[in-house]
Amino acid sequence: MKTIHVLLLALLPVTATAELEVFACEPGWAALATEIGGSHVNTFSATTALQDPHYIQARPSLIAKVRRADLVLCSGAQLEIGWLPALLQKANNRKVLPGSNGYMEASSYVLRLDATGNVDRAQGDIHPEGNPHIQTDPHNVAAVAKALGERMILIDPENAGVYEAGLANFLARWQEAIEVWEAKAETLRGAKAITHHKSWVYLERWLGIEEVANLEAIPGLPPTPTHLSRLTKKFDEGGADFIIRSPYQDARPSEWLSERVGIAAIVLPLTVGGTEQAQDLFSLFDDIIERLLEARVHE
Amino acid sequence: MRPWVTLAAAVLLLMTAGTAQAQESEIETLRAAVEEMRADYDARIAELERRLAVAEQNTKQAKYATQQTAVMQADVSSGNSGPAAFNPAIGVIFQGQAWHFSKNPDDYAIQGFPFGGEAGPIDEGLGIGETELIFNANVDDKFSAWLTAALALEDGEGVVEIEEAWVEATALPAGLGAKFGRFFSGIGYLNSKHSHAWDFADQPLPYQAFLGDQYIDNGVQLRWLAPTNLYMEFGGEWLQGSRYPAGGNADSGFGSYSLFANFGGDAGSDSSWLAGISYLDNAAIDRPSGDEDDPLIFNGDSKLGIAQFVWKWSPNGNWKQKNFVFQSEFFWRREDGDYVLPGGTPILYGVDQTGWYAQAVYQPIPRWRFGGRVDGLSTDDPGLLFVGTALAAPPSDPRRYSIMADWSNSEFSRLRLQFTRDEAGPLDDTQWGIQYIHSIGAHGAHAF
C-alpha cells in the first residue's frame, strides 16, 4: 500500500508553488541560493560533493528536474560540458536555455585563473576559458552571490525585497567570516601544496599557498606510476606541506606518495557536503582551513 | 615625435654633414634628442612607480572588486561557455577496425531474417568505418540545428551521406519539443545512439534484423515531458518511410509513424534507471532485403514493438572511478503482406517474430571497461510455400555471444577488443577484432 502511495505521488504533476525552483549543478551553488532566497527558493543539486562534476550521467531524474526549473545555476567554464547540454536538450524548458535569464554560469562573474584560450587536448582536460573550480575562494563566492541575487530579482521580481535582504544579510555575515578565516589562515601563507587535480588554484591564490606539483601528469587523466615515482624523487627531502585531494578522487595515489615522502595526505571538501563538517558554505571554509592548519601542525 | 626617431634623424644628419659648423649644430640636435629620451623615460618610470604604489595600496577587497568587474565586462562580449564557443561547433569522429571471421562473411545471412538497410557483418580485415563530420549550433533564439555527414568508402569510392540533418524548436512552451528533418527515430534505447557511443562494435541482432541496424528517416518528431519528479517522456514521429523496415515512401510519403514513452529515475545515489516502450508502424512498397544483387521484395505492413530497460550504477554516483551498466531490449514484430522471391510471383506472407538482447558493461577502474552481450532472434514459420527460401524459419533460434574489453585514454579516444561467437548464420562462426574510435573538435554531451 505504501508503495502505491509513493507511486501515485511520483505521478502527480508537481503543483505550481510560489517558490523559485533552482537547479544547481553543484551543492555549493544550491547552498548559496538558499542563503539568499531562504524559504522562497526550492533548491536541488545535480551532483554531490562525492562526485566528480566533470563526469556525470545525464540521468532521467536530472532531466525531470531541469524541466521544472526556473533557474539553472552552474559553475560553467565548461566544467559541466559533458552532461549539462544533454539535460538542457532533453528537458524542453525554454526558461533555462543559455542566453535566457534562467541560465547562469557562476564563473562568468569572477576572474578565472589558468585561462589559456588554447584547446589542444594533448594537454589533457584543459578548460580554455579558465579553471572552473572557482568556489574555493570566498571572495569569488561573494561576487557570485551578488550576481545571483540580481538574477533572482530579475526572475522573481515579486519577491525582490526578500532577495535583497537575504543577499545583504549573507554578504555581511560572509565578510565577517572572511576576516576570521584570513586571520586564522595567516600562518598558511607560503605553504607548499601538491594537489591531485588542479582543483584548488583559487584557494591557493587566496591564502598564498604555492602549488608545487599535481598528481595528475596531464589534467583529467588518472595519475600514472611513472609520474608518481618522479614525484617521490622530487619530494624525497620534503619540499611540500601537504598532498591535497578531493573526496571523489582516488585515495591511492596521494596515500602512496605520502607514505614514501612523509608529506601529509589530506582530503579537503571541494564543496558543501564534501566532509561531515562541511554542511553549509560557512562550515565548508571553516573545515578547509581547519584541515590545512591541522596538517601543518602534525608536520 | 618619438625620441628614437629624432635620434635616428640626428644620426643620419651627422653622417651626411659636410662642415664643422654643421657638425656642431648636429651635436646640439643629438644632445637635445638624448635629453628628450631621458625625460621621456623618467616620466615613464615615474608613471610605473606610481602605478606600483597604487597597486600596493589597494586592499584585497578592492583588488577583487576591480578584477571581477573586468571579467564581467569581458564575459558580456564573449558570452557563456559551452559548445557554442565555436559557431557552429564542429567535430570529427574517426572509426576503424581490423576484423577476423572464421567463415566467409560474404556468405553471412540469418535464415528467416533477410537483412535490409545497413545491417550486416563488419567489413573483413583492415578497414575504416564511417568518418563522421558533425556540425551543430543554435540557429537563433528559437531553433537549433544539427548535421552529421558520414564519409565512407564504398568499393573504393568516397561517398558522403547525410546521416542526420535536423532542426529543433527549442522555445516551445509547456515541456514540448519538436524536431524536423532527417534524424534517428526515438524508438528503443540504442536506435538513437551514434555508433561511436555503442558499447560493442556492432548492433545487437534484433536491431540488424528489424531496423536495418538503425532506423533513420525524414520527418517530424514531437516530444512532451511531464512536469513530474518521475521522468516521463511521450513522443511520436511521422516519417517518410524511405528505408527498411519501411520502403518506397508509401502513403504518398507518409509511410511510417512511431509512438514512444520513456520513464526514469534514481534509486538512491548509486543507481538510476530508464525504461520505455515504443511502437513503429511501417508501410512498405517494394522493400528490398537479403542479397543486394538479387533481393527479396516485400509489400505490406510491418509493425514493431520494443520494450527496453537500462540500469546504471556507480558508487556514490561518482561515474569516473567505477561504474556498471545493464541494458536489455525486447522486440516483437508482425509483418503482413506478400514477398516476391527472386524470379517468382508474390506469395502471401504473415509472421510474428521476436528478438532480444541483454548486455552488461563494467568499468572497475578509470579507463578500462569489460562487457558481455547475448542476443537472439525467433520467428514463426511462414508456411510451406517458403520452404527452401531465405524466409523459412531456421532449424534453431539464431543466437550470438560477444565479449569486449576497451580502453579509453580520455573521453575522446577508445580502443576496443571484441570477440563474438555467432550461432546465427548458416555456419557457426568465431569473429574477433580490434576497433578504434577517436574524436576531435567539439564533442556533444552524451545522453543517458
Segment B250-300, tens digit of pLDDT: 888 888 999 999 999 999 889 999 999 999 999 999 999 988 888 889 999
Q: Which of B410, B416, B404, B417 is nearest to B443 (CA)?
A: B410
If one counts every other C-beta atom within 10 angstroms of the C-beta of residue A228, the result is 17
Contacts for B2 with CB less than 8 Å, ≥ 6 apart: none
Grid look-up 559557431 returns: B87
A138-155 and B60-78 helices cross at what angle (nearest 10)?
50
Query: pLDDT of A197-246, one tens digit each?
Result: 988 999 999 999 999 999 998 888 888 889 988 888 888 878 888 999 99
Q: What is the pLDDT of residues A16-73, one digit of tens each?
A: 446 899 999 999 999 999 999 998 999 999 999 999 998 899 999 999 999 999 999 9
Q: Alpha-carbon distance B186 to B16, whole Å?
A: 84
Of residues A131, A112, A93, A129, the one with CA closest to residue B80: A129
Is some CB atom of chain A closer than 8 A to the CB atom of B143?
Answer: no
Rounded to 10 degrees, the C-alpha dihedral A118/A120/A126/A130 comes to 10
Closest approach of B5 to chain A, Cα-based (Å): 37
Query: pLDDT digit string (tens) for B347-368?
Result: 899 999 999 999 999 999 989 9
- Judgement on whether residues B303 and B341 belong to the same structural domain of the protein: yes
Q: Are B265 and B230 in contact (CB under 8 A)?
A: yes
Give the separation between CA A121 and CA B232, rounded to whole angstroms.
Answer: 37
* One domain for residues B394 and B322: yes
Chain B residue numbers touching A91 (CB-CB < 8 A) = 225
Burial level of B83, CB count in 10 A (0-12/13-18/19+)? Answer: buried
pLDDT digits (tens, 9 = 90+) for A66-99: 999 999 999 998 899 989 999 999 999 999 998 8
B414 in reach of chain A (CB within 8 A): no
Mean confidence (pLDDT) of chain B: 85
At B12 the pLDDT is: 46
In 3D, which of B7, B81, B76 has the Cα closest to residue B41?
B7
Residue with cell string 558533425: B134
Question: What residue of B is the nearest CA neighbor of A16?
Answer: B227
Q: What secondary structure letter does DSSP report for A89?
A: H
Mutation target vs A (from B63, B78, B81, B194; most A CBs, 10 A cutoff): B81
Q: Which of B72, B319, B410 sits opposite A57 (nearest CB)?
A: B319
Last residue of a domain, one of B50, B78, B106: B78
Average pLDDT of the segment spanning B414-428: 92
Query: How large a percentage of chain B has pLDDT more than 70?
Result: 85
The shortest C-alpha distance from B398 to chain A (Å) reads 34
Q: How confident is the model at residue B218 (pLDDT cuts 50, 70, 90)?
A: very high
pLDDT surpassing 80 at residue A184: yes
A82 CB neighbours in chain B (<8 A) are 411, 445-446
Same domain, A176 and A207: no
| Structural domain count of chain A | 2
Domain housing A229: 183-297
Pairing of strands B399-410, B413-423: antiparallel
- A187 with A175, same domain: the answer is no
- Pair B181, B255 in one domain: yes
B278-288 b/e with 16+ CB inside 10 Å = b?
bbbbbbbbebb
Q: What ipTM was assigned to the predicted interfaces of this complex?
A: 0.81
Rounded-to-integer distance, Cα B176 and Cα B173, Å: 6
Residue contact A121–B412, C-beta within 8 A = yes
pLDDT of amino acid B343: 73
Say yes or no: B98 and B60 in one domain.
Answer: no
Q: Which residues of B touch A221 (CB under 8 A)?
A: 409-410
pLDDT at B17 over 70: no
List, for residues B357-407, the tens digit of each pLDDT value.
999 999 999 899 999 999 999 999 888 888 888 888 998 999 999 999 999
Q: Report the alpha-carbon distance of residue B202 to residue B186 in Å, rounded.
A: 19
Do residues B33 and B72 share a domain?
yes
For residues A148 and A188, state if they share a domain. Answer: no
CB A62 within 8 A of CB A74: no
Q: Which of A15, A78, A80, A92 to mutate to test the interface with B (most CBs of B within 10 A)?
A: A92
Q: Could you report how far apart the first and last alpha carbons of chain B are, in Å?
A: 66
Looking at the structure, tell me whether residues A201 and A160 fall in a common domain.
Answer: no
Q: Decide if pLDDT at B75 tops 50.
A: no
Say if residues B304 and B280 touch (Cβ distance below 8 Å): yes
Tell me how far apart the alpha carbons of residues A70 and A152 are, in angstroms, rounded to a whole number: 9
Structural domain includes residue B362:
yes
Q: Is A10 a residue whose pLDDT tops 80? A: no
Residue B426 is predicted with a pLDDT of 80
Q: Measured between CB atoms, which of A10, A54, A142 is closest to B229?
A: A10
d(CA B304, CA B375): 17
Domain boundary among B78, B108, B130: B78
| CA nearest neighbour of B97 among B127, B121, B67, B52 | B127
**Chain B residues closer than 8 Å to A67 by CB:** 175, 225-227
Q: What is the pLDDT of residues B316-345, one digit of tens each?
A: 989 988 999 999 999 999 999 999 887 778
Strand order in the sheet with A192-195: A210-214, A192-195, A242-245, A264-267
What letter would DSSP give residue B273?
Answer: E
| Coil, strand or helix at A257 | helix
Strand partners, B359: B327, B373
Could you tell me if A171 and A187 lie in one domain?
no
d(CA B341, CA B389): 8
Which residues, including other chains, have CB under 8 Å from residue A227's CB and lie 6 or more apart?
A: A215, A216, A217
- Asked whether the beta carbons of A214 and A194 are under 8 A apart, the reply is yes
* Alpha carbons within 13 A on the beta-carbon side of A201: 14
Question: In terms of domains, do A119 and A190 share one?
Answer: no
Tell me whether residues B231 and A63 touch, CB distance under 8 A: yes
Distance from C-alpha of A233 to C-alpha of A129, rounded to nearest angstrom: 33
Do A93 and B171 lie within an 8 Å CB cutoff?
no
Is residue B84 assigned to a domain? no
A134 lies in the same domain as A263? no
Confidence of residue B129 (pLDDT cuts 50, 70, 90): confident
Dihedral over Cα of A251, A252, A253, A256: its sign: positive
Contact indicator for B339, B346 with CB cutoff of 8 Å: yes
Using the beta-carbon criterion (under 8 Å), do B67 and A111 form an inter-chain contact? yes
Total number of domains constituting chain B = 2
Phi, then psi, of B282 in degrees rounded to 5: -120, 145
pLDDT for the residue numbered B74: 43
Mutate which: B73, B80, B141, B309, vs A, most A CBs within 10 A: B80
Q: State the sign of the Cα–Cα–Cα–Cα dihedral A29, A31, A37, A40.
A: positive
**B residues 161..200 contacting A (CB < 8 A):** 168, 170-173, 175-177
A154, A180, A206 - which closes a domain: A180
Q: Same domain for A194 and A120? A: no
Does residue A131 share a domain with residue A12? yes
- B74 shares contact with chain A (CB less than 8 Å): no
Contacts of B225 in chain A (CB under 8 A): 63-64, 67, 90-92
Please give the order of strands across the beta sheet that includes A71-74: A41-45, A20-24, A71-74, A103-105
Query: A103-105 and A71-74: which strand pairing?
Result: parallel
Answer with the one of B51, B78, B105 that is the final residue of a domain: B78
For residues A228 and A223, give the distance between their C-alpha atoms in angstroms, rounded to a whole number. Answer: 7
Residue of A nearest to B175 (CA): A92
What count of CB pairs under 8 Å joins A to B? 182
CB–CB of A13 and B68 under 8 A?
no
CATH number (domain holding residue A153):
3.40.50.1980
In the structure, what pLDDT confidence band is assigned to residue B63 with cuts at 50, 70 and 90? very low
Q: Which of A147, A131, A152 is nearest to A20 (CA)?
A: A152
Which residue of A3, A68, A83, A108 is the best one to mutate when testing the B interface, meaning the one whose CB has the most B CBs within 10 A?
A108
B29 touches A: beta carbon within 8 Å: no
Closest CA to A139 of A169, A105, A182: A182
Residues whose CB falls within 8 Å of the CB of residue B343, separated by 6 or more in sequence, listed in order: none
Residue at which a domain ends, from A163, A180, A197: A180
pLDDT tens digits for range A120-176 = 777 776 677 888 999 999 999 999 999 999 999 999 999 999 999 999 999 999 999
The number of beta carbons lying within 10 Å of the beta carbon of residue B226 is 18
| Residue B140's pLDDT band (cuts 50, 70, 90) | confident
Instruction: Answer yes or no: is B388 within a domain.
Output: yes
pLDDT at position B205: 95
B447: in domain: no
Q: Do both B132 and B60 map to the same domain? A: no
Distance of CA B25 to the CA centre of its chain: 78
Shortest Cα distance from B308 to chain A (angstroms)?
A: 14
Calculate how close chain B gets to A294, using CA atoms only, in Å: 26
Closest chain A residue by Cα to residue B368: A222
Do residues B394 and B415 lie in contact, with contact meaning Cβ atoms separated by under 8 Å? no
What pLDDT score was predicted for residue B72? 45
CATH, residue B351: 2.40.160.10
Give tens-digit pLDDT for B178-203. 999 999 999 999 999 999 999 999 99
Cα(A155)–Cα(B272) distance, rounded to whole angstroms? 32
Which residues span the domain enclosing B429? 90-441
Question: Which of these three, A160, A180, A200, is where a domain ends?
Answer: A180
Q: Is residue B83 situated within a structural domain? A: no
Task: Tell whether A173 and A187 lie within a shared domain.
Answer: no
Which residues of chain B make contact with A55, given a CB cutoff of 8 A? 318-320, 411
Residues A200 and A160 grouped into a single domain: no
Residues B64 and B118 in one domain: no
Taking alpha carbons only, the member of A205, A254, A260 closest to residue A234 is: A260
* Percent of chain B whose predicted confidence (pLDDT) is above 90: 53
Written as one string, the DSSP assignment of B93-134 is EEEEEEEEESS-GGG---TT----TT-SPPPSEEEE-PEEEE
Cβ–Cβ of B70/A111 closer than 8 Å? yes
Are residues B338 and B349 in contact, defined by beta-carbon separation less than 8 angstroms? yes
The whole-number average pLDDT for the span B75-81 is 44
Which of chain A's residues have a Cβ under 8 Å away from the Cβ of B229? 10, 14, 61, 64-65
Q: Give the side-chain half-sphere CA count within 13 A for B64.
A: 15
Q: Are residues A21 and A138 in the same domain?
A: yes
Q: Which residues contact B365 (CB under 8 A, 6 or more apart)?
A: B321, B322
- Residue A128 with chain B: CB contacts under 8 Å: 85
